Amino acid sequence: MYPSKTRFSMRVTGLVLLLALLLSSVAVAAPEPQRPSITAASAIVMDYDTGEVLYEKDADTMRVPASMTKVMTAYIIFEELEAGRLTLDTTVPISAANAQKSRDGRNYPASVPLTAGSKVSVDTLLKLILIPSASASCIVMAEYISGSESAFVQRMNETAKRLGMTAAYENSHGAHVHYLTARSQAILVRAFIDRFPRILNYTSLTGVTFNGKWYPNTNKLLPGLDYAYEGADGFKTGTISAAGYCLSATAVKNGRRIISVVMKSSNDRTRHTDSTALLDYGFAMLEYQSPYDDVAYHWCREDVADLKELGVELHAEGDSFRPDEAVTRAEFTAMLYTALEQSGTLPPEPALPEEPAEEDETAVPEPVQPLFYDTNGHWAQDYIEKATRLDLITDTDGYFYPNRLITRQEMMVILDRCLDLPDENGLGFADDGDIALWALEAAARTSAAGLFQGGSGNALRPLSTSTRAEAAAVLNRVTAML
């Protein structure tokens, strides 16, 4: 007897649903993001944390930056603030010549009128430079800092060279023609945020009031403006006829920052839509290139990716690396052993004892005992025992404590045993006194080699347990020096 049509349809539907459920459980690799179609003549997008260039288009051609020049002017002002030669409350006198330039919109565009004989604070001048892009305010600060704009421009070019930029500045404001590359502008923005993160307090402002007039920010990617981009908090536009429309921008998503630059766009709309496309692509590439789902926007992404590509045992759980979990002794040992193994730098195995001339064929072989009482059947047993036989770690009381969390000073001692480090002293941290005597020499050598660095308040934190992310960063530094 054949099933009815209704029952047959129900069975087919059930099979289809079952197949769909099975297929949905299969992990499918995400496709590589499609490269953006950028209309600007030059463009670049950079990962702030690593400096990795995620996309570029003619990024090394010298082009006119227009008012993006003001980023370098502001950078030098911040250097003066850092050195204590200026404060934000320092008042700067406005000369008659600069007051006239501030009203000369033809030769010094983006004019914000200043009053001759008045004094304006550095804080206010920074806002005028970075938000409505006031050109004369740049000259005011240049002359105050260096005595003349030409001397200030010389410092701009010296600073650019020090930062690794390709630039030829000829003025402090960009209202007149000079040249740099899109890559150089991205390098400058990255260096600025890294050294002086307080700059974002200025570049994120949507406008400023001066002498009773409201001046909007020309970067319209900021919240509430025409081309608002989620997470955008700066940076700087530039527009003159020789430059077209330029924009350097930055945004943060899930704790990761991207920097973009476009130069010589055809209009204000396209410089913003190009920048949006670049930022979207940059964040998409972070996710696509991520070795694990939970490090796509984590600071350890590149370290973990490098170790995974090398073939290091990272003890991941599927698509999860768990970067902020504390690392165990077993995990660190497995990571270290395989990092040395894949780098071809494992020490030679000790020579085996000579076999007796004659063997008693009737003797019953003794069972092989694990090196440690508490590692038998552990996922890392093989790595732990191999590392012990190579004297990378020591056998003390017959217990390894594989699931115990490892401290930074324990990691220092283990690495000092593995590596032939120069006998140098890299200490000088605020908490050097916390280092145990048995770890002191190892801490001195490993910190001198740059394997361990101080954190907040220049603290080494030798007694603190390390996260899996920190362990990955340390071991990636190890593989880089092998």
Residues identified as active-site: 67, 70, 133
Closest CA to 67 of 128, 134, 125: 134
d(CA 403, CA 325): 13
Residues near 91 by Cβ (< 8 Å), separated by ≥ 6? 119, 120, 121, 122
> Which secondary-structure segment (H or E) carries 42?
strand 42-47
SS (H, E, C) 59-92: CCCCECCHHHHHHHHHHHHHHHHHHCCCCCCCEE
Identify the burial level of 440 via C-beta atoms within 10 angstroms of its C-beta, where 0-12 means exposed, 13-18 middle and 19 or more buried: middle
Q: Which amino acid is at 428?
A: G
Cα distances (angstroms) measured from residue 296 to each of 242, 253, 287, 290? 39, 10, 5, 5
Closest CA to 248 of 67, 74, 47, 108: 67
And the tokens for 8? 């047959």
Q: 59, 183 in Cβ contact below 8 A?
A: yes
d(CA 95, CA 142): 13
And the tokens for 317? 């759980």
Angle between helices 70-83 and 122-130 (to 10 degrees): 160
d(CA 23, CA 471): 36
d(CA 35, CA 267): 22
d(CA 268, CA 239): 9
d(CA 221, CA 283): 16
d(CA 406, CA 116): 65
> Which secondary-structure segment (H or E) carries 263?
strand 256-265
Residues near 107 by Cβ (< 8 Å), separated by ≥ 6? 101, 175
Q: Where are the alpha helices (DSSP H) in 290-328?
A: 301-310
Q: How far apart are the first and last CA of the chain?
A: 75
State the greatest distance between any 2 C-alpha atoms of the chain, in Å, as a whole number: 109
